[in-house]
Amino acid sequence: MDPSIVLPILTYKQFLTQTGQPTSILVGLGDNKVTAMYIAALDGTNNDVIVKFTAHYHEKAHRILASAGFAPKLHFCERVVGGLYMIVMDRVDGK
């Protein structure tokens, strides 16, 4: 991880399954998809965010979709420990 990257300040609330359902356990560790996903509060905002740790992510595509209103706002997307991406985005209702 680049030491100049400032990680967002988050308060953990709830783990999520890969389908977005609340769970009390950390699921999916070690697979090639989403490694972990949870709901958190982003410091300085009143909104919940979704935090994902994953091996692959296309930040540019997410930002294009978000600017067109087809994806949640992306707050953070960087490689962190173990080469995983840490993705922080607004939590939205939907399926």
Q: How confident is the model at residue 34 (pLDDT cuts 50, 70, 90)?
A: low
> What's the confidence (pLDDT) of residue 57?
92
Buried b (16+ CB within 10 A) or exposed e, 46-71: eeebbbbbbeebeeeebeeeeeeeeb
Beta strands per DSSP E along 8-57: 10-16, 22-23, 34-42, 48-54
Alpha helix ranges (H) inside 1-95 = 59-67
* Residues, the chain: 95
> What's the confidence (pLDDT) of residue 33?
57
Q: How confident is the model at residue 72 (pLDDT cuts 50, 70, 90)?
A: very high
Mean pLDDT in residue range 88-93: 90
How confident is the prediction for the chain on average, in pLDDT? 84
Mean pLDDT in residue range 37-52: 88
> What's the confidence (pLDDT) of residue 30?
55
